[in-house]
Amino acid sequence: MKILFYHSPREWTGTSRVIATVAKGLSKKGHTVRIVVPPDSSAEAGYARSFKGNESVEILIYENRGSWFTGGRGLRRLFRRWESDFVVAHTPEEHFSAALACWLGRRGTVLRRVPPGGSVELGGWDNWPVKLAKTKLIFSSEADARAVSLRGKTGSVEVAELGMDPSQFPEKPENKEEAEPGAPTFRYILCIRDPNSRGRAAMAIRTLARLSPRHDYLRLVIVGPGSDDEDLRMQAAALDVLGLVSLLGDRDDSVSLMQNADLGWVVAEGDSGALGALDLMSLGVPVLAQSNGVAARYIADGINGAVLPADDPAMTAARVVNLLGGEEQMRAMGQAGRSRVERDYPESGLIEGFERAITGKR
């Protein structure tokens, strides 16, 4: 099968990582895989890193600067002859463009993937892509699939659960390196956010402010797109903890930062939140997430981390400090998280879900 992934954002995101993983997996199964990305973008650079030395996935350059209609025509014109059997889209705009390209090329099915915690609306105007080209929906969990009422507006629904290969991550050392005599021993909480999770990131800062007077060893490191937000900096300053908070923005060395964290707090949503939780679990780091966040679905409360109340700063602070007080408990949680990924969230499940959507075989 010939499969085209349409990645319209210029940013490298959690969804970009999912596309890269699926593209590699499908190419290994013998499919012809291409990815369309904007030129001179962080997305293009990210895919170049991901497929370095792997010539089986072709990267095509195209950027739509107009409407979905322009995007669809642009996709079609990338090819002298349209041969794509499937076009993978993630957003409504990508769905419209992909469907138009298939309609113009008189061939192809759109695979509309819905990230974790996401929804899809195929009523009214949003139903037009389904009329232009056959559409299959791919959800990230059975719960997400059940939560959406489609009323027969699409051909089929498939589930491709996000997964990870823990063997690609270094195991967390049994014991932390001893600090030099006289040097302070800090405990680091790494907060993973995205541009849409400023409110939850602010909760992490408020929690630190509650705990810091009695627990001056605590430090908060916030990473991810938007984490160098000036509003967060101002809030930290207003709570008198700016010196205890590091706002690092988007980083290429995030895995190293995660590995050295004592706790990981995931406030990002969608693919970025889900992968953030799975990354931490694969590294053997206990995970925190608020109950209304997508990362909470990957946490067995009290086993590999803690599910925090959505808006209860006092209870949140109490749970965080209780976790940090037990070295053996945190080590056991980290090991349980890594085992949970191996058992419940293998990378193969994600690839097999797409394979089922493509072949129709179960």
**Residues 42-95 pLDDT 10s:** 999 999 999 987 778 999 999 999 999 999 999 999 999 999 999 999 999 999
pLDDT over 60 (residue 178): no
60 and 11, same domain (yes or no): yes
Residue 66, both tokens? 């107009």
Residue type at 286 in one-letter notation: P
**Selection from 106, 107, 68 nearest residue 84 by Cα:** 107
- Separation CA 204–CA 235 (nearest Å): 11
Structural domain harbouring 274: 167-344
CATH code of residue 18? 3.40.50.2000
253 and 330, same domain (yes or no): yes
For 47, the 3-state DSSP assignment is helix
Question: CB neighbours of 302 closer than 8 A, spacing ≥ 6?
Answer: none
44 and 171, same domain (yes or no): no
Residue type at 296 in one-letter notation: A
84 and 154, same domain (yes or no): yes
What's the total number of domains in the chain?
Answer: 2
**Selection from 107, 86, 108 nearest residue 32 by Cα:** 86
151 and 185, same domain (yes or no): no
**Least confident among 30-39, 140-149, 273-282, 312-321:** 140-149
pLDDT of residue 229: 78
50 and 96, same domain (yes or no): yes
201 and 309, same domain (yes or no): yes
pLDDT band at 198 (very low <50, low <70, confident <90, very high): confident
**Selection from 255, 275, 260 nearest residue 172 by Cα:** 260
pLDDT of residue 30: 94
pLDDT of residue 346: 96
pLDDT of residue 255: 84
174 and 291, same domain (yes or no): yes
**Least confident among 152-156, 290-294, 344-348:** 152-156
49 and 100, same domain (yes or no): yes
- Separation CA 313–CA 152 (nearest Å): 43
- Mean pLDDT computed over 172-200: 75
For 304, the 3-state DSSP assignment is coil
**Residue with tokens 């394979």, as numbered in its chain:** 355
